[in-house]
Structure 1
């Protein structure tokens, strides 16, 4: 490139000619193997591009676009990135990003954000320098504008690799954007994982809006299923606190109650964590957890028997085999099964907890829950495991269960579909017999 001619064009304010030169020289090109070719580094040329960017920010919106794009492309060269990674240039970029010198839908900010992403690949020292210099400006733009969402999400994630995310506005914005799946990207997911794995969010959980809390709990549940997340003690402690304060959920039996969704999801997560060695130390042995789980289970089971509501067991074969959308969207979907799983896990090889479950009259309710229910997939299996854990090396619990007696039979919608019913002969023997129609 003829640097002298470019200088002359700039001096004469021939910005159209400058733009054409930049487009021609700094267009992204590839070799025969498809590898990108970056222009050879020249300190004089970089300085000239920075001058063009500075002038354009004040005098020419079109040149601002072209000079930003040229610098972005030139930064594919590692020497160029190293030369631009200084505080003075970073502050210049911030001032231009925050300025109003642009035409509608101008792409210069996107180019400058992409340039910053190229620069921060240099080394950790540059990342820390950029955090001090440009982070606040990036966050302000992220909060007010979604036009460069991918770039600003990527910058915030990379710039906070060595610090905890402690801005509640940014946290809420990330969660809200991720919850709106139409605008999500992989860096929003990375930020969600960062938020979930750090202490700050969980220590300020009550300050977060309900919709955002539900989004985080759902993402946490998904990550636990995949097995690729490590959470902090603060997360477990927050979930335990949430659960212990949730007993009023038994009075909320409508499908639209968000508090019920929150509690139900928290119970699902806690029940899964209670079987993990890393986290179980914060859950097992906690008598309050067992008592709360027992109280919830007893009351939810009773409410399901009183009238036809969202707690009533669903035993139709078609719905048991494949629960429909309405069943899955029930805030109590899997709730009883997860409570039973939690009870079984906190009583595992713990004599005091096993005895407390018996004294709290949890065992009869567990056994009464041993029925197929589309609202609670695998509930029978979780009951069997819970009873096994309650009876393990505990003669008193074994004797208690052995002393239980049959008190008649209950109708089963599932058996009735097959033309069968249960019949007691008065000798504690129950048989399956044809149903008289």
Structure 2
């Protein structure tokens, strides 16, 4: 491979570009050190130019260097060994006066330098760790390649500086930025998070140390992960899932021992977010089978449902007071109600509890008997009323009663023995008349 004469480069950019096009790095083992030095110098001479033709030469230089990395570690080591090269790339990545596609290509070259090369991964992390983490957080065009570099280094265990807490927080910043922009996160951000959630227990310590806001964000991401059907072939790590379940039980125990003031605390928001996650998980294989093994989870959910049910009966309306007047329910649906149920932390909480209990009761004699022995059955029966705060609660309650009674004679007898003392309070019955297959809102004078 012959060098391009400098006078040609200075006088005729197209000739210089054509000369680069003819270079064949694959046959240049012996000459590669001097050739790579020359290519890097051409890149540095062109990368900040205001002339498009000269920038194209810079991009061609980077392409040649990236291609050479695929030829093996010898070529990677030769490039990364150039004096001050990584420091130069760091400056370029931060320099917004350099065209974005040039900076992205620089980052791709850095990524190629460390493919299956742990020593280079360690060098790159030592020199560029801060910049790479900033690029991941930015959710810019630099995020995907930066995440790939850090992800591969994390897998290789080349550096103790990759702390699980910081990595989790950085990835979550990217996820949130993408969500606010209504975009999918970069591919390697999703791959990295999936690895942390599903392939290793290293995330546990990091999860415990991240901020409250980030924990909530992580739990919501987990919720979406569990709900997504094509991700079910890679389930969440069992240790992580077990830890979250124990965390729910612990927070639930604390809440059940306090008065109503817990509703305004961060702990309650985290508890309720964990509840939503676990409730969804009871519907999904293999999490449902796993969760049905723990009677403490069933008991805590049952006691929590009973407590929220009692709070909702309080004379002073609160976020757990059922919204079951048909006129108000219609206003809620139309968005004209003064009651903003979807904005409350309580929205869908009771229905999520009933859904979880229904699934935990499924073909589980232990939980069926616990429901009877602890007095949960009357509470469940009272959840059959419609409530705008809890969509589908009635349907989930019917399923819960079905699962409660399946092949359980004692529960069947208990429900059969209950005496009717009057119609359940249900303003729906007094607020509409069905005529001709339609529903008519009645005025107070029309009510019978």
CA distance in 2, matches of 1:334, 1:311: 10
1:274 aligns with 2:282: yes
Answer whether contact 1:255 1:330 (CA < 8 A) is retained: no
Identify the match of residue 157 of structure 1 among 133, 148, 151: 148
Higher deviation after alignment, 166-175 or 103-112:
103-112
CA distance in 2, matches of 1:125, 1:352: 52
* 1:173-220 deviation per Cα after TM superposition (whole angstroms, max 9, x unaligned): 110222123566423333333333242223432211111111111122
Q: CA deviation at 1:436?
A: 2.5
1:299 aligns with 2:304: no
Partner residue of 1:17? 10
Q: CA deviation at 1:116?
A: 3.1
Consecutive unaligned residues of structure 1, counting only runs of 5 or more, are 10-15, 28-37, 421-433
Partner residue of 1:86? 76
Residues 5 and 336 of structure 1: is their aligned pair in 2 closer, same or farther, counting only changes over 3 Å?
same
Q: CA deviation at 1:172?
A: 0.5
Answer whether contact 2:168 2:207 (CA < 8 A) is retained: no
Partner residue of 2:191? 190
Partner residue of 1:436? 447
Answer whether contact 1:138 1:155 (CA < 8 A) is retained: no
Residues 102 and 291 of structure 1: is their aligned pair in 2 closer, same or farther, counting only changes over 3 Å?
closer
TM-score by length of 2: 0.75
Answer whether contact 1:261 1:331 (CA < 8 A) is retained: yes
Partner residue of 2:110? 116
- 1:236-275 to structure 2, matched below 5 A, reads 236-247=241-252, 248-249=254-255, 258-275=266-283
* 1:355-407 deviation per Cα after TM superposition (whole angstroms, max 9, x unaligned): 11111111100000111112211111211111122211111111111111223
CA distance in 2, matches of 1:330, 1:26: 66
Consecutive unaligned residues of structure 2, counting only runs of 5 or more, are 435-444
Residues 254 and 151 of structure 1: is their aligned pair in 2 closer, same or farther, counting only changes over 3 Å?
same
CA distance in 2, matches of 1:69, 1:365: 69
Provide the aligned C-alpha RMSD in A. Answer: 3.9
Residues 387 and 102 of structure 1: is their aligned pair in 2 closer, same or farther, counting only changes over 3 Å?
closer
CA distance in 1, matches of 2:80, 2:207: 35
Residues 384 and 323 of structure 1: is their aligned pair in 2 closer, same or farther, counting only changes over 3 Å?
farther
Answer whether contact 1:252 1:260 (CA < 8 A) is retained: no
Q: CA deviation at 1:66?
A: 7.3
DSSP-derived class of the 1:245 partner? helix
CA distance in 2, matches of 1:417, 1:137: 71
* 1:241-291 deviation per Cα after TM superposition (whole angstroms, max 9, x unaligned): 121022245756798754333322322221232344423343213121121
TM-score by length of 1: 0.77
Residues 75 and 103 of structure 1: is their aligned pair in 2 closer, same or farther, counting only changes over 3 Å?
closer
1:171 aligns with 2:162: no
Aligned residues between the structures? 401
Higher deviation after alignment, 351-360 or 108-117:
108-117
Identify the match of residue 106 of structure 1 among 85, 98, 101: 98
Identify the match of residue 96 of structure 1 among 83, 88, 93: 88
DSSP-derived class of the 1:365 partner? helix
Identify the match of residue 382 of structure 1 among 396, 421, 439: 396
DSSP-derived class of the 2:208 partner? helix
Answer whether contact 1:172 1:212 (CA < 8 A) is retained: yes
Residues 240 and 111 of structure 1: is their aligned pair in 2 closer, same or farther, counting only changes over 3 Å?
same
Partner residue of 1:31? none
Residues 130 and 402 of structure 1: is their aligned pair in 2 closer, same or farther, counting only changes over 3 Å?
farther
Partner residue of 2:220? 218
